[in-house]
Structure formats: C-alpha cells, structure tokens
Amino acid sequence: MTEEIRRGIRTTLVGLLINMVLAIVKLVAGILGTSYALIADAIESTADVFSSLIVWTGLRIAARSADESYPFGYGKAEALAAATVGLMLIGAAIVITIEATREIITPHHAPAPFTLLVLVGVVLVKELLFRRVLHVGEELESTAVTADAWHHRSDAITSAAAFVGISIALVGGPGWESADDWAALVAAIVIVLNGLGVLRKAVADLMDRAPDAHIVERVESAARAVPTVLATEKLKIRKTGLSYHVDIHVQTDPGMSLHDAHVLSGRVKGAIREAVSRPTEVLVHMEPYEPARPGTG
C-alpha cells in the first residue's frame, strides 16, 4: 500500500469519526428542538458516515496489486466508491424532500432557539473538514476522496440552510413554523446537484475518459524530450484509481537495433513516470520513423 493510499484512508477515517459525532448531536437537537431541517441534516451526516466507509473500502481495494484475475489492478474500485457516494447523495436528497414536504403540510411547533447554536458549530466544523479533505483529494487526484469532501460540503450547506430556515421561523412567529422545512427542501436541491457532479466525474473515470489536457501534454513532452526519439503518436491515457495507464507509440531511427530500441523504450517509460510524478504504467510501442511526405497530412 502506497503512502498516498494511506493518507487518503487516514483522511477518510477522520471524517468518518467526526460525522458520527455530528449525526448524533444533530439528531438529538432536532428531536428536542422540533426542527425537521436539523433532523434532515442528521440524515445527511448519517449518509456521510456510510459514504466515508465506502470510500475507505474503495481505497483499500484499489491499493491491491494486480493479479491473474485482475491483471490491470483494482484501481477502478476507487471510482466505484465515488459513484456510490454520488448515488447516496441523491438518495439522501430524495428522503429529505419527501419528509420535508410531509412536515410542511402538517402543523407543528416552531423550532427551539438553541438549535441555531448547534447549527453554527456544525457549519464551521463541516466547512473546515470539507477544505481539508478536498485539499488531500486534489493532491492525490482521488475521485473518491474528492467525492467525500463534497459530501462534507453538502452537509455544511444543509446546516446553513437549516440555520436560515429556523431563524425565519423564530423571527416570523406564528404562521412561519414551516420555514425550516422549506429550508430543508432548498438544501435537498443543492445536495442533488452535488451528487450529480460527483457521479459524473466517477462515471468518467469508469469509462476511461482521457485525463486533463495538461497531463497529456506533460506525457507527450516527456517522451519527445528523450534523445533519439524522433516522433510520437497514438498517445492514450486513462486513470485507474490513483495511477495512470499510458499507451504511446514512439518513432525512432529505422536502423536502430532491436536491443537499442528496447533500451530507448525503457528511457521513455522512465521519463514519463518522472513527468507524471505518481504511479504510472507505461506501454511503449517502438516504430521506425517515417517523415511525412510533401503534400501529405
């Protein structure tokens, strides 16, 4: 298991423990304070706990070495974990929408003022957690860890919406009791949008979408910079877990011996791995250099 995987797992476990504590606090405060927005927030935190468990499991599976059954490794488990988190976000939003709608049409008491203090603390904790986990996710280029970060941000948003709704209910007085339920509906919309964003990126990884242009340019430049490489073509890159798989055709002097061509391919692999600066599998196809003829494309 690489240090990058370990770092991602540690970050995920910290978020999991924090979510467990926050879910309990919000659920108790929501029940005692008669605030469905806060109860909806507790549902979101509970979903965060399960999403962190899924991310943790996905990272551990992705860290396994390739074997006969999975010759290309287990990296796709990381993207599968992210896709599951995206679906859980959407599912949580549906549950919140159904329950909030039921609360809107059912008369109930206004939330208790103390629930606002709970929400302020929750927003601060979750926003700090979001920034920390997102930083780690972007550093590792991990779809799953980044998805976990956005789940934390969704929780912060639902808490902020609940704060606004409860404040309106308390200031407005009789007739405004359902304001926090409407806030829960607004939060559900935001959660769905976040869930779709997470799901879209995870599906892109599962479908082997090409990475960002700067990664492609870096790989191509590194290969062409190797001495005696005369041209490159048919460059294909796909992301698998926290690593990349590169397939590239390299052209060199047609008179080069097979042994020298083999040595050159090794140098190209080394240059690409150094340029990408993360675990990378590279397959180099050696071909004779054929300069373009005048008048051809």
Token pair in block for residue 279: 């675990």
pLDDT for residue 1 is more than 60: no
Say how far apart CA 40 and CA 30 lie, in whole Å: 9
Tell whether domain 3-206 is in CATH 1.10.40.30.
no
- CATH number of the domain located at residue range(s) 213-288 in this protein: 3.30.70.1350
Question: What is the DSSP-derived secondary structure letter of residue 185?
Answer: H
Question: Could you tell me the CA-to-CA distances from 72 to 65, 245, 280 in Å, in that order?
Answer: 9, 9, 12
Instruction: Kindly indicate the confidence band of residue 181, based on its pLDDT and cuts at 50, 70 and 90.
Output: confident
| pLDDT tens digits, 191-214 | 888 888 888 888 888 888 888 888
Please report, for the chain, the start and end positions of each structural domain, with discontinuous segments joined by +: 3-206, 213-288
Q: Token match 């196809």: residue?
A: 285
pLDDT for residue 100 is more than 90: no
Can you tell me the mean pLDDT for 285-293? 80
At 37 the pLDDT is: 66
pLDDT for residue 297 is more than 60: no
Q: What percentage of the chain has pLDDT greater than the value 90?
A: 13
At 141 the pLDDT is: 77
Q: Which of 196, 199, 191 is nearest to 100 (CA)?
A: 191
Say how far apart CA 166 and CA 143 lie, in whole Å: 35
Mean pLDDT, rounded, of the chain: 83
Say how far apart CA 255 and CA 289 lie, in whole Å: 10
Say how far apart CA 66 and CA 73 lie, in whole Å: 4
Can you tell me the mean pLDDT for 245-262? 91
Token pair in block for residue 237: 């890159």
pLDDT for residue 123 is more than 80: yes
At 264 the pLDDT is: 92
Q: Token match 């939330």: residue?
A: 111
Say how far apart CA 180 and CA 29 lie, in whole Å: 14
> Which of 19-23, 49-53, 246-250 is predicted least confidently?
49-53
At 226 the pLDDT is: 92
Say how far apart CA 165 and CA 159 lie, in whole Å: 10
The helix/strand/coil state of 280 is strand
pLDDT for residue 225 is more than 80: yes
At 82 the pLDDT is: 85
